Every structure is written in structure tokens, then in C-alpha cells.
A and B are shown apart, each in its own frame.
With several copies, the nearest count.
Chain A
């Protein structure tokens, strides 16, 4: 099987969908000509293949980029626009939250808004808190938006293809750190369903629910714990909205123990939603308290020592698991 980084997987998904449907176009800052010439990046080479009609470099105008997507989607195109880094989504958030998410409802179901907003996220590249700020919990708290956050190149490809074909607005969050971590991606065409979590590692002792870049941390922790005879079930949500509560509950009913792991800051993070769902529907099967392993409630600091402190690591996960065994 081909080994691709997540950026390359995204690139393949864009390429395939753009070949398949001429109503798909991409737009954003540097999606055509960018400052990097790097085959690991998601939009490399698309301008060359599809031309400047369909690959649109925009000014630094996030509200206009998102508005372009919303208006063009209503008119029947399938925009895939990029917001360069997660914190800049604030600048587009009126268009996303008050328009992409709501205009269909406001139309009484007459219009639809088949658009994808790709956004890069994640700490780890030393740029500090105005570039690194995980905000998936915000977007998940906005009815009308689907929210997808893949953890592997294969899922990224399959989910992005589904997102582009979805008739609803989809926020597609790519952790930059995963661009440089190759993984297997099937060669043949496939779609990964939005709204289906994936048990990435089965285990009977504790359920470790996570998504995005933290999957790697989850694996490392699971391996260490396996050496102690503790079998961790790693559930990769992949989509936050719709949330696959069935898969979460099934796992927790089996293990009776739950740890939720995310890179975003703790208070108000999406771990809260996961724990509420479990506490509502599987309370009787729970054998131990919840543990959350998350970023601390601080902005992401720039300095390497501080940034490492910010990012949850397997040590913290191992400790959390041990605490509730």
C-alpha cells in the first residue's frame, strides 16, 4: 500500500474529487502558489493540474474566503476553502457559525450549503498561541456544522472525499504534525463515512477515547500499558459531529472505564461531551471515575520546553489509566 503523510492524503482526496466533479473548487491563502514547495503539503501541484479557475489564491481575508464558500455553495458549487491556522477561524466565524450553519435552517430547508472548510491545527511547531489553538469544541457546539478531525492519512483521505460529497457544511481539521507522519493509504477509491468512530486498537480493560494527533500518544500509552498486562481499547472518534455515541458506549460498556484524551485545553473541551454521553447512557456499567488527559488551561506557549509541557504525552495517559484501574 502507498505510504503517505496526511497532507499528501488530503492532496489525493482533493485531486480525485476535483477530477470527478467540476463543481469542486478550492480557495484560500496560498493554496495555489504558496511560500513552501513541499510535496507533503495538501495543495501542492493542484494549481498545475486544475488551473487558476479552480484553484484560487485569495487575499488575506478570512471572512471573505468563508463567505465565498457559503455563497458559492448555495449557488450549487462545492467549495473547499482553507483557513490557514485554527486561530484565524475566529475571523471567519460569523460566516461559518451564523451563515454556513444556519442559512439552510433559515430557508426552511430550501437551500443547502455543500462546502468544506479545511483548517490546520495543532501545537508542536513552535509558533505560539496565535497559530496553535485547537478549537474543535467550538465548532462542535454549533448545530448545522459537521466536524471531522482525522488521525491517520487513510482516514483523512476517505473522510475528506465524504466531506466534499456531503450536502452539509463540514469543518475538516488537519493537525499539521500529521503531515510529516506517513501511513498506509489504500490505492483504490474509497469513502470513509462521517459520523463513524473507529476502534483503532481493541482492548478490554479501559476505553481511551481520542481524536486527531493524540491518536499517536494513545497508541504509545496503550503499548506501554500492554506490557503491564493492561489492555487499552483506543477509540478514534474521527468525527465530533455527528458523534458516534454507539461506538463509545459499546466500548465503555465492555471496559467499564473511560479516559478521554485531547490536545485542546481542558475546560470546555470536547472531553466534556464524551463524558456526559457516557454518564447519561452507561452510568450503570462504569466501574471507575473518568480521567481526562488534555492540554492545560493556558495558551500554547512558544518555547520548546513550555510547548512540550502543554502537549499531552503518553506518560500522562499511562498515569490516568493506572489511577482508575
Chain B
């Protein structure tokens, strides 16, 4: 598949931005109490969100989960609004109601985020149903983990989406762990994508650290969806380089495994490719990095300078009137 160089540069940018974002958060977490709540990052997994979202149009919808930052940044969410929400400030995209775990950004069509493992899939079915019902040329992507593929909701959602040929792409980010459990400890299924056949839909395994491969697969399944051919189950093989959350010491992840996967980092992989093709210079990459770091620094300053919501604001936003 021929991928325009601008797309490739866009993907490099969103990966670099995501990485700067998560590296900064990881660093901030070393100071106890600076950022509230659990901190769940996708360091090393950025190619999935970046490759997927680069293949989408702004009007396409994503439904994401507890490990959402890189998906949302790739979909175009404002780093300031995200960071402020992660800090639980009133300027956050959800006014501090959500915090880091269920960031909802309807402005970029990322309206449904759930930290209930597996819950995103039925929600995505609903979103895709609305798209089909209105005969829109849009699709829905649902991001979920390998652990989520063991929840009953996965099954019900895939069956219904297949039955109704809904324009939804189920993107399983298989990072080899669900909490402290290795993939082989939570299922005997060789690949999550093997389950697709049980719903009579295409299942595909893709190298989730190869952003171009992710982009290509998603583009194809998006076309299928738009053509009325129904959902695809796309499994992106990747690796959770950090612990489940920043307070997880990763005691169960072999050091050698972590090291080897760090070596497969998707960012140098794409930048080397672009360099080799002469599509980018080292200076441009350094610029991107500097710009990303500046944006994240700015987001942090914004978040830190923002006020917490007033206590009574807790009572708002329950009801629509």
C-alpha cells in the first residue's frame, strides 16, 4: 500500500507527541501526589493509536478505554484539555469529573471512554449503529486490550456487529499483559484475531509496533466497513513497556522481555524508514521532538496553573435538561 509521506509524517508526529506526553506523566508520577489517581500509560504502544487514527477522518468515531491518552492525542484531542483533566482541574476536558481514566472528548469524536474492561465494544456497536441508521459515511473504531477480549461484552458486541454489518472496527491492542497476567495465562487462543471466524468476520493480526502496517490494515477495514461489508477484528501485537500503571513495579515482566521490546520501539522504526527514504531529516525529527516537549510542558503548566473545580460543581452535569 502506498502511504502518502504527509500521512507518515503525521503519524511520526502523533507518536512523538504521545511519547512526550506519557514520558512526562511518568516523570511527574515520581513525585507522590502531584497527579491524582492511577496513571495508566501506553509507552511503547503508540503505533496503534497513531496508525489507526491517521487512517480515520475527523468525523469517524473512536471508543477507547483506560489506556486512552495516545488514542486521544492521535485523534486530535487538545493536550492542554487532556492534561488538565488528568490533573483533575476545572479546565480539563471533563471539568475534573472523569480524571485520567475515562477521558471523553466528543469534540474530536471520542465521546465514549470506559474504564470497565470490555465495555467499549457494545458502546461502539451503538455508535456504529447510529452511523448506519443515518446512512453516514463514517465508521467507529473501538480500542480494547487483550484482557478485554475475555469479557462477555466482546462476544455479544462482535456477534451483533457482524449480524447487522455495522461499520465498526474492533482494534485489539494486544500488549501481552492484562494486569499482571501474561496473555497465555488468560487464554489459550493463539491470537485474539482467531476469534473472528466465530463471528464470520475477517480477523487480522498486524505488527502493532509497525505504524505503517497498522495504518494499512485499518484503511482496508475502514473501506470494507464503508462498503457495507461489516466489522473487522484487527489485532495489533505490541508490548506494554511500563507496568499496568505507574505504581506497578512490573515484577512479573521478565527484564529481558522488556529490553527486547524496547528495542522494537515504533518511533525510531518509522523515523529510520523516513530517513532512509529521504523523507525527513534528523533536524526535522529533533524539531518535532522539541515541539512535542514544548506542547506537553505547556499543557502541564496550564494544568498546574488551573484551579480545581469548586466542591459544589460536583452536583452539576448529572442530568440533561
Chain A positions within 8 Å of B, measured between CB atoms, are 25, 29-30, 33-37, 53, 56-64, 66-77, 79, 87-88, 91, 94-95, 98-99, 103-114, 125-128, 130-131, 143-144, 167-168, 296-299, 301-306, 308-310
Contacts and interface: CB of A to CB of B under 8 A. Distances in A.
Contacts, number: 270
A27 B180 CA distance: 15
Contact of B243 (A35, A71, A79): A35
Nearest to B90: A303
B268 interface: no
Residue among A30, A64, A70, A112 with the highest chain B CB neighbour number at 10 A: A64
A104 B118 CA distance: 19
Contacts of A56: 164
A59 B158 CA distance: 12
B106 A111 contact: yes
A131 B163 contact: no
Contact of B126 (A72, A114, A299): A72
B248 interface: yes
Contacts of B107: 110
Interface string B278-321: 00000000000000000000000000000011111111111111
Contacts of A109: 95, 316-317, 320
B312 A63 contact: no
Contacts of B185: 57
B111 interface: yes
Contacts of B88: 126, 302-306
B38 interface: yes
A91 B38 CA distance: 22
Contacts of A73: 126
Contact of B111 (A33, A66, A74): A74
Given A107-B97, A302-B99, 11 more contacts: A59-B147, A67-B153, A68-B160, A70-B123, A75-B130, A77-B133, A99-B123, A106-B104, A108-B96, A126-B99, A302-B97
Interface in B107-129: 107, 111-119, 121-129
Given A63-B152, A72-B127, A130 B97 contact: no
Contacts of A77: 129-130, 133-134
5 contacts: A59-B160, A63-B153, A71-B125, A75-B61, A304-B36
A308 B88 CA distance: 13
A303 B123 contact: no
A175 B217 CA distance: 45
Given A106-B98, A111-B104, A131-B101, A60 B178 contact: yes
Given A59-B163, A130-B101, A125 B123 contact: no
A61 B151 contact: yes
B181 interface: yes
A79 B129 CA distance: 11
A61 B160 contact: yes
Residue among A77, A98, A108, A299 with the highest chain B CB neighbour number at 10 A: A108
Closest 9 A-B residue pairs measured CB to CB?
A71-B126, A67-B122, A302-B99, A303-B96, A75-B130, A109-B317, A303-B88, A108-B94, A64-B156
Contacts of A305: 88, 96, 308-311
B4 interface: no
Contact of B119 (A25, A95, A108, A309): A95
Interface size range on B against A: 35 or more
B110 to A, nearest CB: 10
Contacts of A94: 116, 119, 153
Given A67-B123, A302-B88, A59 B178 contact: yes
B30 interface: no
Contacts of A66: 122
A6 B147 CA distance: 29
A154 B115 CA distance: 33
A197 to B, nearest CB: 19
Interface string B233-263: 0000000000111011101100000000000
Contacts of A309: 311-312, 314
Residue among B89, B119, B121 with the highest chain A CB neighbour number at 10 A: B119
A88 B19 CA distance: 31
A25 B38 CA distance: 30
Contacts of B310: 305
A31 to B, nearest CB: 10
B163 A71 contact: no
Contact of A33 (B116, B123, B180): B180
Contacts of B320: 104, 109, 112-114, 167-168
A70 to B, nearest CB: 6
